[in-house]
A and B are shown apart, each in its own frame.
Chain A
């Protein structure tokens, strides 16, 4: 089963729901879900803390919380992974609140280029690149999360909507508005 960067079929979600229910009855049956999602969740956390050991600790917390709350999980037509990503996002945020450090945002060169393509007209590329990080630094955490999920992690809008518990159209409109805001800040 694909766990990120692709939308999940209805059949796959329903089959996974049966696995979740088995785990609700007996936590030992959570193992297949753990094996499936450990690496994607670890990578998600690592990109937000840039420390392997810390990512390992937070990842363990994520799965512990998931297993503790599994009884209240109900299938609502959304992939199980979206629920795990939400827990992971909350755990990362809590860590940075507790340590009062700045949250890490991992960016690749190609992601920067993709983002600049969205907001800069031809001829402004270099100027935009220089201003981009400063502009990103001015975004609110929720807005930055959208940019991160869409441009730095390449997730489809459907998956982003599932993770953030909003509609797909809402995810698109919000992303569009953030890009417009960035354009204004960068005066492109």
Chain B
């Protein structure tokens, strides 16, 4: 009968609210919190508002930002400062709202040991031991606070104040990000540096759109250089797509059936593969490993047996070969009846059970006692037996290697054959999925197919801001505009933020008269400005749609 793994209680009486209330004690809980060693993770002390809600609701009450198109040419006004000059005069990292900057998660680690640290959404940092040095270059030991924050969408990027454009060969590219992190470490409030040659391995979980469902997107890794005020290319982002389409549960029965059918076909292929490999291995039997002899132990209960001619051939052979052989009680033996030791046994029978154990039957008339024993040797016999064992072991290992070499080629061929079948099955599945998507483009399930969870893998050889990006050229449609508000124009500020929601990009614009605003007509665009009295003035997606070329 299968063992119960759950303890089912039927119609268990439930405690009353009064009974439950007896267990409540918030004051005791607060005291316990203070006493526990793990400090509570408390974000920066200033009041924070939910960022998305704030942007959404503040927008409803805030000014509407109007972009008055003044033509393709720059309007020559009083202000001749270029956008480049303006931003060069500002702090490079410039959070527009300090209180709402994305918060750091702090973890305390032992710098001597390092370790793997996982964050709530599954992102990980793998920190080597002895990775940190102080400002003076001395290796840091003991507890260190690792500060880590993730930024994923244009709201995060906006609030962080980190510029998301990249200058290369005279062109300003917009960075389409698959996720950005900032990492630093402190000990007793003092910032630390990475030791030369040490690297933190980062696995950043994020979500990206994969319009080509089975083609992994390509991103690069950039590190922010605050000195040069630019991003530095570091490596290719090693992306792993986590959620495969074939494992997803869709809100669509047809897709789920496609997945179930694909899963069944793969299972069939794997089952056939396993069968063929098992048959192959059975065709060349595995050699039997030799068993080492046991050395006789003086403190173990044992029997000294005269092996008679009536004994089995295997036992006689042992007796003839080894004069010193005695028989220890095997660990596999049942308990011996203590009275058996007082009996004068008339005869016995000894027969092998396996490579190491023998069954000894002691006989006195109708009384028998069975014991499992194992032969043990001493002195020269033991040395000789071990020499034989080593020779047999060498032969065994050679036989195993020989068997493996005979099987390897055949096994590899089987694996390759079935791997090809799996590839074909996957191609057929991909094709059916693509057909379904083409036929159902407006179905909301398509969004579920396209939006995928990935792991971005890279190494950080220093603290700071690391970004998983691909640079894209500025968009084609450019207008020159003048920023006004439907409320008091004097509240407007110098910087506007232009977002392409489809591509998760954000660009800062110097909002002077005649500012160049470049956007993709085919995307959902959004632009806003934080006014001088901390309101949001918004230029909505529908307003962009009305702008004609």
Shortest Cβ gap from B190 to chain A (Å) = 22
A71 to B12, CA, bound (A): 37
Interface of chain A, helix or strand or loop or mixed?
helix
Contact in complex: B29, A63 (CB < 8 Å): yes
Give every chain A residue within 8 A of B47 (Cβ-Cβ): 21, 25
A67 interface contact, C-beta 8 A? yes
A18 to B50, CA, bound (A): 8
Give every chain A residue within 8 A of B43 (Cβ-Cβ): 24, 71
B342 interface contact, C-beta 8 A? no
A50 to B119, CA, bound (A): 33
Contact in complex: B6, A169 (CB < 8 Å): no
Give every chain B residue within 8 A of A34 (Cβ-Cβ): 24, 26, 29
Partner of A105 from the list B7, B17, B36 (CB cut-off 8 Å) is B7
**Count of inter-chain pairs, beta carbons less than 8 A:** 130
For A109, the closest partner residue in chain B by CB is B11
Shortest Cβ gap from B53 to chain A (Å) = 6
Contact in complex: B20, A69 (CB < 8 Å): no
Query: Chain B: how many interface residues by the 8 Å CB criterion?
Result: 44
A69 to B105, CA, bound (A): 10
Give every chain B residue within 8 A of A63 (Cβ-Cβ): 29
Give every chain B residue within 8 A of A30 (Cβ-Cβ): 26
Of the 9-residue stretches B220-228, B249-257, B385-393, which lies at the interface with chain A? B249-257
A133 to B49, CA, bound (A): 48
A102 interface contact, C-beta 8 A? yes
Partner of A102 from the list B4, B50, B249 (CB cut-off 8 Å) is B4
Contact in complex: A103, B42 (CB < 8 Å): no
Shortest Cβ gap from B249 to chain A (Å) = 4
Give every chain A residue within 8 A of B40 (Cβ-Cβ): 27, 67-71
Give every chain A residue within 8 A of B20 (Cβ-Cβ): 38-39, 42-43
Contact in complex: A52, B15 (CB < 8 Å): yes
Partner of B30 from the list A28, A107, A170 (CB cut-off 8 Å) is A28
Contact in complex: B33, A38 (CB < 8 Å): no
Contact in complex: A133, B8 (CB < 8 Å): yes
A35 to B21, CA, bound (A): 10
A64 interface contact, C-beta 8 A? yes
Give every chain A residue within 8 A of B42 (Cβ-Cβ): 24-25, 71
Give every chain A residue within 8 A of B12 (Cβ-Cβ): 47, 50, 106
Give every chain A residue within 8 A of B21 (Cβ-Cβ): 39
Chain A proximity mask over B22-35: 1 for CB below 8 Å, otherwise 0: 11101011101100
Contact in complex: B33, A25 (CB < 8 Å): no
Contact in complex: B7, A104 (CB < 8 Å): yes
Give every chain B residue within 8 A of A67 (Cβ-Cβ): 29, 33, 40
A89 interface contact, C-beta 8 A? no
Give every chain B residue within 8 A of A43 (Cβ-Cβ): 14-15, 20
Shortest Cβ gap from B464 to chain A (Å) = 22
A7 interface contact, C-beta 8 A? no
Contact in complex: B29, A46 (CB < 8 Å): no
Near A by CB (< 8 A), chain B positions 397-415 give none
B2 interface contact, C-beta 8 A? yes
B299 interface contact, C-beta 8 A? no
Give every chain B residue within 8 A of A75 (Cβ-Cβ): 50, 53
Give every chain B residue within 8 A of A136 (Cβ-Cβ): 6, 8
Contact in complex: B10, A137 (CB < 8 Å): no
A174 interface contact, C-beta 8 A? yes
Contact in complex: A107, B9 (CB < 8 Å): yes
For A60, the closest partner residue in chain B by CB is B29
Contact in complex: B9, A105 (CB < 8 Å): yes
Near A by CB (< 8 A), chain B positions 147-206 give none
> In this complex, which of B12, B21, B28 has the most chain A Cβ atoms within 10 angstroms of its Cβ?
B12
**Given A71-B43, A72-B120, residue A64 in contact with residue B29 (CB < 8 A):** yes
Partner of A46 from the list B10, B14, B256 (CB cut-off 8 Å) is B14
Give every chain B residue within 8 A of A104 (Cβ-Cβ): 6-9
B344 interface contact, C-beta 8 A? no
**Given A70-B40, A107-B9, A107-B10, residue A17 in contact with residue B2 (CB < 8 A):** no
Contact in complex: A69, B249 (CB < 8 Å): no
Partner of A137 from the list B6, B120, B251 (CB cut-off 8 Å) is B6
Give every chain B residue within 8 A of A103 (Cβ-Cβ): 5-7
B41 interface contact, C-beta 8 A? yes
Shortest Cβ gap from A137 to chain B (Å) = 6
Partner of A174 from the list B119, B249, B250 (CB cut-off 8 Å) is B249
Near A by CB (< 8 A), chain B positions 469-511 give none
B48 interface contact, C-beta 8 A? yes
A101 interface contact, C-beta 8 A? yes
Partner of A101 from the list B7, B22, B24 (CB cut-off 8 Å) is B7
Contact in complex: B33, A144 (CB < 8 Å): no
Give every chain B residue within 8 A of A50 (Cβ-Cβ): 7, 9, 12
**Given A39-B17, A173-B249, residue A71 in contact with residue B6 (CB < 8 A):** no
Shortest Cβ gap from B47 to chain A (Å) = 7
B341 interface contact, C-beta 8 A? no
A70 to B7, CA, bound (A): 33
Near A by CB (< 8 A), chain B positions 218-271 give 249-251, 256
Selected A-B contacts with CB under 8 Å, 29 pairs: A17-B53, A21-B47, A24-B42, A25-B42, A25-B45, A27-B33, A34-B24, A39-B20, A43-B20, A46-B15, A50-B7, A52-B15, A56-B23, A59-B23, A60-B32, A68-B40, A69-B40, A70-B40, A70-B41, A71-B105, A72-B41, A102-B4, A103-B5, A103-B7, A104-B6, A106-B12, A107-B10, A108-B10, A169-B250
**A binding-site residues for B, Cβ under 8 Å:** 14, 17-18, 21, 24-25, 27-28, 30-31, 34-35, 38-39, 42-43, 46-47, 50, 52, 55-56, 59-60, 63-64, 67-72, 75, 101-109, 112, 133-134, 136-138, 144, 167, 169-170, 173-174
- Leading 3 A-B pairs by shortest Cβ distance: A71-B41, A56-B23, A173-B249
In the complex, besides A39-B20, A105-B7, 13 extra interface pairs with C-beta distance below 8 angstroms are A17-B53, A21-B50, A38-B20, A42-B15, A43-B20, A50-B9, A55-B23, A56-B23, A104-B8, A109-B10, A136-B6, A137-B4, A138-B2
